Structure 1
């Protein structure tokens, strides 16, 4: 079969495992070239580095309407991703424990790939969280944990949509999108003003939910490795190890934010 222009273009990129890229998503927007990812990540890190210096010259902005619109959009997008993954994986009778990535163009398989692509795009949309922190002068929230989480998740999602867009990836993606529905739902409510504050007593449980998420994904990735699952033999161990620093950093944040003040208050 003669090579097409797209094939030649794809093969011109030189990066590890390029020949193993999934043919179904190879040419999808922001997937084909590694330079797209590098450029977006560089722009994000430049915003983190120089954005606060620029914003400090001006008064902090409230941005209640943009915050509410962005958070609401993220609720609906993550809800859509979660429902698509759940319904398509059930239709295909996917295994929770081990599901190989099959290069199939069946409608339900492509639904899973498309849902994961939207999940990847949502990680770009989450960069707006950082921009809002900068424009609102929320310097304490612009932590290493925040920047590490957003930048590495974006890069990690590109790796999976590029090489393993279907199969067992649906499990952590479905869990994460469900958590983000709750998280962005909280963000949307929190900007509505003092009248909603009394209904947001469950803020501390968000971090606890994230810790539970990382624990479940770590255990899930471990069992995939132990049973020698065909899915992502070279990526799954990395994905499992990727959860460890999140458990440590989110755990440390949870203790400092919600546990230490309570202990101090009791001793006073």
Structure 2
């Protein structure tokens, strides 16, 4: 029995070493890229905090008022997202890419290294966005911390770590550029929403954020679908395209359901990170959030749920 366990451990270590050997050498000098252990530890700490430690600490405490911090945080992410989009464009999408079958440039040319850098920056932005959930916990907005919210925030950085260490660039980076473009709009919305009632008149376009999300997933899925209709394509990691297609399709279905429920049937279900509230008890009427028969207001304004993608 002990020998069998040792053999299993040996095989597991061989697989682990094989996976590490495939890491793009241009990324090995970047923070948290040497192996998946630091990244996995960060995500495990995130899950521990949002599922157990955070709610336990806040159980007998008043919610924190984090208005200023949230304004700075959201507008910082707007600036970061703009930078990421610009760098993706300059690294290939607006210069040398065909927007069809674009392989990964594995050279050490300035443009290829620029793509590697922005791919890492996009991944790191997903680590920063874990703070979204921390804000919810500290403000005791536990109803916003749904399974889908946690799944998205933990699954995205974990999968993208593997994506960039093997495939930093090429046609697989299209969805990252589109996602960052959407985040420019979304975090700008969140920043205005956090700024208080005097900015509420500028938030009339809330409904169209869902439409923007739907367009995002359509573009991502269509772009990945091209691969299946090409006679040949030398993109090095087709598995990444398969995963992107499934990811885009899954969230398109999810957002379409919200659109129908909220804007066709008029239920106006609250959203968090593009996902519908799971308790199903809250609705929006006349701009007010009524949950279980009570109306909740924050600093004189209605709390506006976030609608993020991914």
Partner residue of 1:176? 179
Shift of 1:122: 0.3
Q: What whole-Å deviation, never above 9, does each CA across 1:211-232 have from its counterpart, x for those lacking one?
A: 2111211111111233242222
Higher relative contact order (CA 8 A, sep 6+): 1
Partner residue of 1:34? 36
In 2: Cα distance, 1:66 partner to 1:160 partner:
31
Identify, as 1 or 2, the structure richer in helix.
Answer: 1
Q: What whole-Å deviation, never above 9, does each CA across 1:92-129 have from its counterpart, x for those lacking one?
A: 41121111012111111111111111100000000000
5 Å-filtered alignment, 1:1-268, equals 14=16, 17-50=19-52, 51-89=54-92, 92-227=95-230, 228-231=232-235, 232-261=237-266
Change in Cα spacing, 1:142 to 1:254, as seen in structure 2 (3 Å) is farther
**Preserved contact between residue 172 and residue 241 of structure 2 (Cα < 8 Å):** no
Change in Cα spacing, 1:22 to 1:75, as seen in structure 2 (3 Å) is same
> What's the TM-score, normalizing by structure 2?
0.76
**Preserved contact between residue 13 and residue 33 of structure 1 (Cα < 8 Å):** no
Q: What whole-Å deviation, never above 9, does each CA across 1:62-109 have from its counterpart, x for those lacking one?
A: 201110111111001110010111122157411211110121111111
Aligned residues: 255
**Preserved contact between residue 92 and residue 108 of structure 1 (Cα < 8 Å):** no
In 1: Cα distance, 2:263 partner to 2:44 partner:
34
**Preserved contact between residue 225 and residue 237 of structure 1 (Cα < 8 Å):** no
Q: Which runs of 5+ in 1 are unaligned?
A: 1-10
Q: Which runs of 5+ in 2 are unaligned?
A: 1-12, 269-282, 286-310
In 2: Cα distance, 1:151 partner to 1:16 partner:
24
Structure number, greater radius of gyration = 2
In 2: Cα distance, 1:52 partner to 1:250 partner:
28
